[in-house]
Structure 1
Amino acid sequence: MPDSTQHAAKILIEALPYIQRFHGKTIVIKYGGNAMIDDALKESFARDVVMMKAVGMNPVVVHGGGPQISGTLARVGKTTEFIDGLRVTDAETMEVVEMVLGGLVNKEIVSLINSHGGKAVGLSGKDGDMIRARKLSSGKPDVDYGHVGEVESINSSLVETLEAERFIPVIAPIGSGSDGVTYNINADSVAGALASKLTAEKLVLMTNTSGVLDKQGRLLTGLTAEQIDHYKQDGTIQGGMLPKVDCALQAVQAGVKTSHIIDGRVNHALLLEVLTDKGVGTLIRS
């Protein structure tokens, strides 16, 4: 038989124990970065999600959309200010954010998954009062982020209902405050909070990096809380990786079995991480 055929069979056999182990389990995926803007990677992501559902897993997608928001704001002549890496979001900007995240981006992801045979349903965190948010404080009296929020509570009943009916939830990270104000929330935070609420098998954060790297640029994986604390102290984990690692670790400490920070620039990164021995990112465990 051709070598390619034998290789395909080997891959399927390697995937079998993972398919059996994760059958019926919820996997929450934060979808963002290059995987959302590169056409080939978008197709790869959609196929991965459909494949996961087809073999019995329950993928739940939480997506970002920063580049798409910035592009739309530029087209309407609205300038954007960032403070501490956060987009200052006034009421007018929030209208654009909600339109882009809850409309354009969300529906594109839903359409793409459905075009590959999935049954995706697009949601905003406002639907079914799923995400209750509160205003994010800067901790500085002279800095106001506007309509930037953080998760106060999660009502997962709508997601659980959709999972039971074999749908794939696709969620925009927008929530409502008790005062009825709409807030834009970091997608990593929403994914982590939702994974914790669902006691998911896995939380997967797709990024534009290979994962957590040591000072020699080598990938670190199988990290525990103690190891993470060590790498923070010696400066190995720093900058933009800090909040992602904290999000992943908090989810594990709240009952999620494992968290993964994976390279969304790799074709079929999801399947490679979930269904192969080697994976393509950093695994964080309790």
Structure 2
Amino acid sequence: MKRRASVLLEALPYIRRFHGKILVLKLGGALMEEKLMDSICQDIVLLNYVGMKPLVVHGGGSDISEEMEKAGKKPEFIEGLRVTDEETMDIIYKSLGKINKKIVLGLGKHGGKSIGISGIDGGLVRAKKVEGKGKEKLGLVGEVEEIDASVVNYLINTGYIPVIAPMGADAEGTSLNLNADTVAAELSTSLQAEKFILLTDVPGVLEDQENKNSLIPRITLEDAQKLIDEKTVTEGMITKLKACVKSVKGGVKRAHIINGTAPHALLLELLTESGIGTMIEEAR
């Protein structure tokens, strides 16, 4: 009984510190398995009930690739970006829509009020086509040009948990496929979130990529940039670190990369002294 009480008391200062604060959570496509998603949704709803303002941006890479293969299309990537023609865009709509509603239903199961939207809705994400040498083949792939977070602000300030699919539209009204890490980072900056948290299927940033026990629990922006420049981390982690660096440089207090496959990873990272992942901050 005393141990249970001590757990709750350890959480109290963090609940007080983050009460009323915005938390931008990015869920990777590898976390969509039912039991994992159920644990994550429980955490999100609990954080919401104790007064925090979480919102979710989700990916869907593996589901999209699977649906493409079913349709006889081979997934192709250029510098980590999915080549997207009109047929692929239709598959992305379908896959992201399915995942979006799955998360909304999961949050609702545990008593959370949530609404699923995409970056297209309410003019949330204005995007433009990715340009540059060798990137012409990417097709309907975009990068964030501008965020209008008014619809998200309205939802979180009325008690809802927004669940956002990473799509955007350009000035001509063409929908574009966007990188979910980038969308989440840009949104966290626009909202001046307290925290930007990337939930993935790895422990965090590792000192030795072959050793999962070599987790770096805390790094500065300078450290993170050095890891990126020297390619000490893997290509997938480079994208995530870049998103974290961008968010913190843009005014977000701290960014985190955590293993979302660990039971109740969000609660352990946010409400305990030690945490479980890597925290990125401006300076120690």
Q: TM class, shorter-chain normalised?
A: over 0.9
**What secondary structure, in the 3-state scheme, does the structure 1 residue paired with 2:258 have?**
strand
Alignment correspondent of 2:87:
92
Using the TM superposition, give the Cα deviation of residue 82 of structure 1 relative to its aligned residue in structure 2, in angstroms: 2.2
**What is the rounded CA distance, in whole Å, between the counterparts of 1:138 and 1:109 in structure 2?**
35
Task: List runs of 5+ in structure 1 lacking aligned partners.
Answer: none
Give the letter aligned to residue 207 of structure 1.
T
Deviation at 1:238, TM superposition (A): 4.1
CA distance in 2, matches of 1:12, 1:180: 49
CA distance in 2 between counterparts of 1:196 and 1:97 reads 25
* CA distance in 2: counterparts of 1:229 and 1:251, whole angstroms: 13
In structure 2, distance between residues paired with 1:71 and 1:117? 31
Report the CA distance between 1:40 and its aligned residue: 1.3
Asked whether 1:140 is paired with 2:134, we answer yes
Aligned twin of 1:274: 270
Q: Which amino acid counterpart does residue 28 of structure 1 have in structure 2?
A: V
State the 1:231 CA deviation: 3.3
CA drift at 1:267: 1.2
Out of 60, 69, 78, the position equivalent to 1:65 is 60
- The answer to whether the Cα contact below 8 Å between 1:33 and 1:264 also exists between their aligned partners in 2 is no
8 Å CA contact 1:196–1:251 kept in 2: the answer is yes
Q: Following the alignment from structure 1 to structure 2, what is the Cα–Cα distance between the partners of residues 68 and 230?
A: 33
1:105 maps to which residue? 99
The match for 2:187 is 194
How far apart, in 1, do the equivalents of 2:114 and 2:106 lie?
A: 9
For residues 86 and 243 of structure 2, the distance between their equivalents in structure 1, rounded to whole angstroms, comes to 28
Alpha-carbon deviations, 1:152-196, whole Å to 9, x = none? 100000000001110000000010001111111010000000000
TM-superposed CA distance for 1:84, in Å, is 2.4
SS at match of 2:177: strand
Partner residue, 1:253 = 249
CA offset digits 1:93-129 (Å, max 9, x no partner): 101101221x211111101101110001000111101
Which consecutive segments of 4 or more residues in structure 1 shift more than 3 A?
229-235
Counterpart residue number, 2:239: 243
TM-score by length of 1: 0.93
Give the match for residue 125 of structure 2. 131
Of 220, 232, 249, which aligns to 2:216?
220
Does residue 24 of structure 1 match 2:23? no
What residue in structure 2 maps to residue 7 of structure 1?
A: 3
Are the equivalent residues in 2 in contact too, given 1:46–1:116 (CA < 8 A)? yes
Aligned counterpart, 1:43: 38
- 2: distance between equivalents of 1:231 and 1:63? 25
Q: What's the secondary structure of 2:218's corresponding residue? A: coil
Question: Which amino acid letter does the alignment assign opposite residue 170 of structure 1?
Answer: V
Q: How far apart, in 2, do the equivalents of 1:224 and 1:41 lie?
A: 30
Q: How many residues are matched?
A: 279
Pick aligned residue for 1:154 from 130, 147, 167: 147
Give, in angstroms, the shift of residue 233 of structure 1: 5.0
Structure 2 gaps of 5+ residues are: none
Distance 1:226 1:83, change over 3 A: closer
Superposed CA deviations along residues 11-55 of structure 1, whole A, max 9, x for unmatched, are 11110000000000000000114322x221110011011001000
Q: Among 107, 110, 115, which residue is 2:109 paired with?
A: 115
User: Which residue type is aligned with residue 129 of structure 2?
Assistant: K
RMSD: 1.5
Q: Using the alignment, how far apart are the partners of 2:229 and 2:86 within structure 1?
A: 39
Query: Percent of counterpart pairs with the same letter?
Result: 46
* Partner Cα separation in structure 1 for residue 29 and residue 6 of structure 2: 31
Q: Which residue of structure 2 aligns with residue 78 of structure 1? A: 73
Normalising by structure 2, report the TM-score. 0.94
Contact 1:273 1:280 in 2 (8 A): yes
